[in-house]
Amino acid sequence: MTKRILTYILAIFCLLLVSSPAPRSEAASSSSLTEEQVKAAYIYNFAKFVQWPETAFLSANEPLRICFVGSEDLFKAMESLSDKTIQGRPLKISKRSTLKTTPDCHILFISRHYQGEAWQELKKNIFTPVLTIADFDSFVSGGGIIELVREGSKIRFAVNIAAARQAGLNLSSKLLKLAIFVEE
């Protein structure tokens, strides 16, 4: 990827950080983004700045699988990106009904409904290199990799580098520079 393309992607990513994603109201214009659409954009962009080990994929053209547990609205927002590719791989978006059905995921989003004990149980069952993302407090300090954080009307993120390393993932320094908090 050329330096110019990386700069362009980073600029778009930065614009997402400073946007003001308020939930869509009846009076909202069609150009405003819902909170779920902003979160979907984050997840999509996170994938661009993560490197999985070769063993995470069975073949060179295997899809990048993004799985959602407990977030129907975010899943629907993410489905609009299902025709995209990341790092030359097509995206496959899926919703999981239980915490036990996640072994083939490369990215796993866990909604706030599964915080606490449910997250601790799920963490024990993740055996493959999986980028874990959630939108509840203390996810990063509890061993998750990326936590989406609401700051006023903005969505930001925190990162746990040690959890990423333990999962066998390499996070770009460009991604880490944009995080509001990095736990090592």
Please provide the average confidence, as pLDDT, over all residues in the chain. 80
Q: Do residues 48 and 86 touch, judged by C-beta distance below 8 A?
A: yes
What is the structure's pLDDT at 171? 97
* 171's tokens: 């996070």
Mean pLDDT of 100-122: 78
As a whole number of angstroms, the distance between CA 28 and CA 62 comes to 39
Name which residue leads in pLDDT, 110 or 114.
110
Mean pLDDT of 50-58: 93
Tens of pLDDT, residue by residue over 126-150, are 767 999 999 999 999 988 999 999 9
Q: Do residues 50 and 172 touch, judged by C-beta distance below 8 A?
A: yes
Ramachandran angles phi, psi of 90, nearest 5°: -70, 150
What is the structure's pLDDT at 40? 95
What share of the chain in percent tops pLDDT 90? 52
Taking Cα atoms as reference points, which of 164, 160, 92, 96 lies closest to residue 129?
Answer: 164
Taking Cα atoms as reference points, which of 153, 144, 152, 130 lies closest to residue 181?
Answer: 144
| Cα torsion 12, 16, 18, 21: sign | positive
Residue 15 scores a pLDDT above 70:
no
What is the value of pTM for the model shown?
0.80
What is the structure's pLDDT at 71? 78
* Domains defined for the chain, CATH in brackets: 3-19+35-183 (3.40.50)
